[in-house]
Amino acid sequence: MDLQLLDQTLAARGEPRFRATQVWRWAAAGVAGYEAMTNLPKALREELAKEVPFSSLEVRREMSARDGTVKALFATADGRPLEAVLMRYRNPPGGGDGRRSICLSSQSGCPLTCTFCATGAMRFVRNLSASEILDQALHFRRQERVDHCVFMGMGEPLLNLDAVLAACERLPDLGISHRRTAISTVGWIPGIERLTECELPLRLALSLHAADEALRSELMPVNERYPLHEVLGACRAHYARKRRRIFVEYVMLAGVNDRYEQAVALTKLLAPADADAPRMFKVNLIPFNPTSSPFKGSSREAIAAFKAALEEHGVQATVRLTRGRDIDAACGQLAAKAA
Ligand code: SAH
């Protein structure tokens, strides 16, 4: 719901200030509409239903994968596409930790042009507002409880940090603590520095993808502007201040960044001899979700070998489960098709 419009509408009616909080609490608890807000006068509920659309987003498509992943394609009020994903993990005896993790978009399209990414191939449209970010989360909250959030949908969150942080401030009301919220970046240094100063204990995730400057610039042209060694400097300063381990995202591309020497080079980059190093970074190896780009994902075996090489050199690594492959769940895939 457009929270600014809500405030204006309440103010225009001369409503007391606690009304906005009441409305938000109900929305964050996952109710379906204003009629459920029983501590609000009926006339007010009716007026809000007319004046303030319950969501700033319209669901255009929703798809469920066999593994329980749900992906929603939304349109903003001005018709801009964006998407968000709910990932359900199994409950404890089945192996998972039962988490319900949502993956949110911060922009419609993306101004960066990572060559393997479907969103990167799309036109940049605009930043999303805090309300448009929250409405993605509320959409899934209305379906079930949620407890983790990653900004790994469309867009670069650090290019829209005011709105992202405003949304993060409210996520705990939906059940998602700051510690369970991760902001993923290509390495936009001014944004990393702002997050370092920010009081909220959010998790930083860095999309690294290549330990070598030249290869990284090929995959992620933003590396020309903020080269990897400077980005890692900003990450080290972040860790020194926040003492929160940084997740390094590494998408596994066959024959491009998955060789043994490249794993060793990555460990040299992440684990220099200082005492903090082993705790500072954890690598998440991401199986590539095929897009219309020429890239192919590394085989399971290549990913396992890469992980073993990292661990052999003292860097902790996990392989991300592939989720929702049958529904185009990778960053931007659905919206790019719709566009
Ligand atoms: N702009 C931010 C957040 C959005 S992308 C960032 O780059 O971190 C979230 C993650 O998904 C990034 O690590 C990105 O590189 C990765 N990604 C993009 N396309 C992918 C694909 N087709 N398969 C697997 N991971 C992909």
Q: Is the pTM of this model over 0.85?
A: yes
Identify the band that residue 192 occupies on the pLDDT scale cut at 50, 70 and 90.
very high
Q: Are 40 and 23 in contact (CB under 8 A)?
A: yes
Identify the band that residue 116 occupies on the pLDDT scale cut at 50, 70 and 90.
very high
Token pair of 6 as six digits: 């809500």
Burial class (CB in 10 A: 0-12, 13-18, 19+), 271: middle
- The pLDDT value recorded for residue 66 is 86
> Is 83 designated active site?
yes
pLDDT higher than threshold 70 for residue 273: no
Identify the band that residue 338 occupies on the pLDDT scale cut at 50, 70 and 90.
low
Q: Which residue has the tokens 């903003």?
A: 76
Please, what is the end-to-end C-alpha distance for the chain in angstroms? 24
Identify the band that residue 43 occupies on the pLDDT scale cut at 50, 70 and 90.
very high
- Cα of 154 vs centre of ligand 1, distance in Å, is 8
What is the average pLDDT across 199-215? 98
For 147, the enclosing helix (H) or strand (E) is none
CA distances from 296 to 47, 152, 199, 213, 288 (A): 53, 20, 40, 21, 7
- Cα of 152 vs centre of ligand 1, distance in Å, is 6
- Cα of 117 vs centre of ligand 1, distance in Å, is 6
> Is 331 designated active site?
yes
- The pLDDT value recorded for residue 328 is 66
> Which residue out of 83, 132, 156, 249 is catalytically annotated?
83
Identify the band that residue 68 occupies on the pLDDT scale cut at 50, 70 and 90.
confident
Identify the band that residue 67 occupies on the pLDDT scale cut at 50, 70 and 90.
confident
- Cα of 230 vs centre of ligand 1, distance in Å, is 20
Token pair of 158 as six digits: 């650090």
Residue located nearest, by CA, to atom 5 of ligand 1: 152
Distance CA 265, CA 313 (A): 10
Pocket of ligand 1 (CB under 6 A): 114, 116-117, 152, 156, 184-186, 207, 249, 251, 286, 288-289, 291, 330-331
Residue located nearest, by CA, to atom 21 of ligand 1: 289
What is the average pLDDT across 284-294? 92
- The pLDDT value recorded for residue 283 is 96
Token pair of 254 as six digits: 């066959």
Identify the band that residue 292 occupies on the pLDDT scale cut at 50, 70 and 90.
confident
Q: Among 60-64, 113-117, 122-126, 319-323, which stretch is predicted with the lowest mean pLDDT?
A: 319-323
> What DSSP line would sit under 12-63, residue for residue?
HTT--THHHHHHHHHHHTT-SSGGG-TTS-HHHHHHHHHHS-S-SEEEEEEE
Mean pLDDT in the chain? 93
Q: Which residue has the tokens 């003292």?
A: 314
